[in-house]
Structure 1
Amino acid sequence: MYFPPFTSSLLIAARCLALTSLLGGVVACGNAEKPKAVSPAEVENPVKESDLTTVVITADAEKRLGIKTVAITTDNVQATREVGGEIQAVPGQAVTIVAPVQGTLRGGASLTAGQRVRQGQTLYSLVPLPPERDLLTLDQGITQARTQLQVAQARLQRAEELLADRAGSVRARDDARADVALAQRALADARARQGAMNGNTNGGQALPIKAPLSGVVQRVSVAPGSVVTANTVLVELAALNKVWVRVPLFVGDLHRVGKDQSVTVRPLNGGATRQARAVEAHLLSASAGTGTPGAGAADVFYELDNTDEAFRPGERVAVDVTLSSGNSATGGTATTAALTIPAAALLYDASGGQWVYVRTKPLQYTRQRVEVQRAVGNQVVVSRGVQAGAEVVTDGAAELFGTEFGGSH
């Protein structure tokens, strides 16, 4: 079909206008705002931890609680190296008890690991068993002994009947009685051996297994009633009045450990303020050859007085090793600068967190979380959480803690 030139121009313009409208709609859809994401939970009026731990009291309350503060200072404290150690039994003070002969165990039902025993205490009773070659013939032996007894009793009865008819002699009757007695003894012994196999002595002798020293049961290897062979391990004991502490040290620190210096041993869960165990002992050994090859560490041993049995062999402990200056000319103990606070200022929450109260304003105290590195006498070294110059509460810290959580009135 033919269109005039002006008509074609109009059609082209209309098509362009429609296409422009369509593109504009697409662009408009692309620029439409996305809906905001809805949070699954919202916290209204969030409060910082520092705002939750601020206590404001009156002057009368401060006086009544007896609050005293001290300024945190940077002091020179002894240079120590905190390392992990392991408690070990003193060689020769740990014994392994074995069965002397083959037999059946009796007693020992109450023996458990960690139980204390005294020297000479009977731990087990061992009923000896006959050799293995005899165990195979136990039933045959009983049958044979029973048959011999029956034969001897028949002979005795026959001898008594002949004697009553004046056809026998008194001597024959007495010999028959002796044979019956021997047969009865043989049958009783055979039954006793079989009873020993089942753990019954039937009045027989049992060997007592006694503790050779006073100490603590380390391990129980057998149960009562078990049949054991000779040299079977029964129980392991360790004397704990003295123990060794194995301390792996970097070989570069060995020359800084003096033979007359002591170390401080602490339980891993004891915290820095728990009363630590000061080990006043000479250095037992220090040799790079006692460490792990290639590890660059050497095992150093200290002896610990453990009369109260607070530490057990195998227990992991924290050990603070005091280091000297390493200069043989000057000698002395090396020191290092550190932030220290009185141990009385340190508080623990129910989760084991460490806190102190810092006076931020007059009559205002803020509880701040701190991280304690170690204890030095009545002071504790703080690695972070507070700054030098801040005033921490010593007397009355526990009372503030109770006031904050409603435990004090």
Structure 2
Amino acid sequence: MHSSKVALFLPAVSRCLALAGLLGGAVACGKAEKPKPASPAEIENPVKESDLTTVTLTADAEKRLGIKTVAIKADNVRATREVGGEIQAVPGQAVTIVAPVQGTLRGGASITAGRQVSQGQTLYQLVPLPPERDLLTLNQGTAQARTQLQVAQARLQRAEELLADRAGSVRARDDARADVALAQRALADARARQGALSGNTNGGQALLIKAPLSGVVQRVNVASGSVVTANTVLLELAALNKVWVRVPLFVGDLRRLGKEQTVTVRPLNGGPARPARPVEAPLLGATAGTGTADVFYELDNADQAFRPGERVAVDVALGSGNLAVGGAGQPAPATPALTIPAAALLYDASGGQWVYVRTKPLQYTRQRVEVQRAVGEQVVVLRGVQAGAEVVTDGAAELFGTEFGGSH
């Protein structure tokens, strides 16, 4: 009896559900569907990231993104090698200032690293303290400083003669000049010390420590009010209107350098590049561990954009391989290669290199490329695109974000 009631109940429920569905459909059909707004960007084939994807934009979206394209062209580029370099002060243009006698420093509170000073500017005032005992008499100290100056002057004269005979180097001459300057300063300090301790400078009158050249303070080792002993290093000063760049090159590349060939120096922070001239200095010998030799170049630095110790990138143009080191041969001829602006290049999360190519109006296709090297603001492309194709420069990152759902 119970089972028969269930059997009668189930068909009734089914009929009710069917009737409700018909009524709902009738109500839905009675409502007018609103048209969907047109999307400003349409993504086709969004499959795998490694597959080519085409982005189709509306004219308004293309204008809003600021899309600009440049045609790929074949330029003549020379073989170059990018190496790391280090900025150094020009020998003879960097000095270390030391205390001539034991005493107490006064002033110098404004002397800090990076500060520009002028030649003859007073850096510190040093009040001499009576020495506990003299190891050498004052006359012996002055005579010794005078002898050292004479020896330094003789070395300078010899270095200039060797340079005139093309048997020496500019660096050796500059080092000799620096030795003469230091010897002159030592003699002046000895005479001042002799005069101060003999009562010719009114007893404890302060000695003025002045800048021997115009330059930038590299490092300060003392503070105002400090008690220092003789020969204590007070600060380091360097003239930075010109600096040297030390460039380690592979020994096998030395024969490919021209005699007057310049290089391009670029800061690692992306600042503007500038040329550097070769320096008539001896090559530093190669080391067994690296197989490189150090070559030096001089760089104009009137704006002091580079500081000693700074690491830089150096682009060296290489010749055909038949040049002797320092020879007068010509660099290798330029070869045609496809170049694109560096702004057109994009990188994915795995380091892959891509560009967007305009295949038709309002349509852009992402293509993988292989880059060989950078040449200024351009990059040399080995494969992936053809000459004449239009790649996106302005708005490439916005297209990348549009494709993968990023906001812009």
TM > 0.5 between the two?
Answer: yes
Unaligned runs of 5+ in 1: 1-45, 135-202
What are the superposed Cα offsets for residues 348-378 of structure 1, whole Å, 9 maximum, x if unpaired?
Answer: 99xx998743335642335678786654355
Q: In 1, distance between residues paired with 2:69 and 2:274?
A: 29
Q: Is the 8 A contact 1:284 1:303 kept in 2?
A: no
Pick aligned residue for 1:313 from 308, 313, 329: 308
Q: Which letter does structure 1 place at the counterpart of 2:100? A: P
Equivalence for 2:108: 108
Structure label with greater radius of gyration: 1
Q: In 1, distance between residues paired with 2:312 and 2:225?
A: 38
What are the superposed Cα offsets for residues 169-215 of structure 1, whole Å, 9 maximum, x if unpaired?
Answer: xxxxxxxxxxxxxxxxxxxxxxxxxxxxxxxxxx9622221212222
Residues 344-359 of structure 1 mapped to structure 2, 5 A cutoff:
344-346=343-345, 356-359=355-358
Q: In 2, distance between residues paired with 1:282 and 1:114?
A: 27
Change over 3 Å in CA distance of 1:91–1:61 after alignment to 2:
same
Q: In 2, distance between residues paired with 1:309 and 1:354?
A: 35
Q: In 2, distance between residues paired with 1:361 and 1:313?
A: 52
Which range moved further: 102-111 or 88-97?
A: 102-111
Q: Which letter does structure 1 place at the counterpart of 2:250? A: F
Q: In 2, distance between residues paired with 1:232 and 1:74?
A: 61
Equivalence for 2:151: none
Q: Does 1:278 align with 2:275?
A: yes
Q: Does 1:387 align with 2:405?
A: no
Equivalence for 2:332: 333
Quote how far apart the aligned CAs of 1:222 are. Answer: 1.8
Q: Does 1:265 align with 2:254?
A: no
Q: Is the 8 A contact 2:318 2:331 kept in 1?
A: no
Equivalence for 1:121: 121
Change over 3 Å in CA distance of 1:222–1:360 after alignment to 2:
same
Quote how far apart the aligned CAs of 1:108 are. Answer: 2.2
What are the superposed Cα offsets for residues 276-302 of structure 1, whole Å, 9 maximum, x if unpaired?
Answer: 1222x2343353x53335643211111
Quote how far apart the aligned CAs of 1:48 are. Answer: 4.8
Q: Is the 8 A contact 2:255 2:322 kept in 1?
A: no
Change over 3 Å in CA distance of 1:52–1:97 after alignment to 2:
farther
When the two structures are aligned, how many residues end up with a matched partner? 287
Q: Is the 8 A contact 2:128 2:204 kept in 1?
A: no
Q: Which letter does structure 2 place at the counterpart of 1:345? A: A
What are the superposed Cα offsets for residues 15-35 of structure 1, whole Å, 9 maximum, x if unpaired?
Answer: xxxxxxxxxxxxxxxxxxxxx
TM-score by length of 2: 0.59
Unaligned runs of 5+ in 2: 1-45, 135-202
Change over 3 Å in CA distance of 1:369–1:277 after alignment to 2:
farther
Change over 3 Å in CA distance of 1:100–1:341 after alignment to 2:
same
Change over 3 Å in CA distance of 1:368–1:119 after alignment to 2:
farther
Which range moved further: 104-113 or 58-67?
A: 58-67
Change over 3 Å in CA distance of 1:229–1:369 after alignment to 2:
farther
Q: Is the 8 A contact 1:56 1:364 kept in 2?
A: yes
Equivalence for 2:37: none
Q: Is the 8 A contact 1:338 1:381 kept in 2?
A: yes
Q: Which letter does structure 2 place at the counterpart of 1:240? A: L
Q: In 2, distance between residues paired with 1:372 and 1:208?
A: 59
Q: In 2, distance between residues paired with 1:81 and 1:117?
A: 38
Computed over aligned residues only, the root mean square deviation of the Cα atoms, in angstroms, reads 3.8
TM-score by length of 1: 0.59
Quote how far apart the aligned CAs of 1:80 are. Answer: 0.6
Change over 3 Å in CA distance of 1:93–1:358 after alignment to 2:
same
Pick aligned residue for 2:286 from 266, 274, 291: 291
Equivalence for 2:249: 249
Which range moved further: 107-116 or 97-106?
A: 107-116
Change over 3 Å in CA distance of 1:387–1:52 after alignment to 2:
closer
What are the superposed Cα offsets for residues 100-154 of structure 1, whole Å, 9 maximum, x if unpaired?
Answer: 11101122233332232222222211111111159xxxxxxxxxxxxxxxxxxxx
Change over 3 Å in CA distance of 1:321–1:205 after alignment to 2:
same
Residues 15-164 of structure 1 mapped to structure 2, 5 A cutoff:
48-49=48-49, 55-62=55-62, 67-73=67-73, 75-133=75-133
Q: In 2, distance between residues paired with 1:256 and 1:121?
A: 46
Q: Which letter does structure 2 place at the counterpart of 1:357? A: Y
Equivalence for 1:208: 208
Change over 3 Å in CA distance of 1:293–1:327 after alignment to 2:
closer
Q: Is the 8 A contact 1:112 1:219 kept in 2?
A: yes
Quote how far apart the aligned CAs of 1:406 are. Answer: 4.7
Q: Is the 8 A contact 1:256 1:323 kept in 2?
A: yes
Change over 3 Å in CA distance of 1:284–1:114 after alignment to 2:
same
Residues 174-189 of structure 1 mapped to structure 2, 5 A cutoff:
none
DSSP 3-state at the match of 2:260 = coil
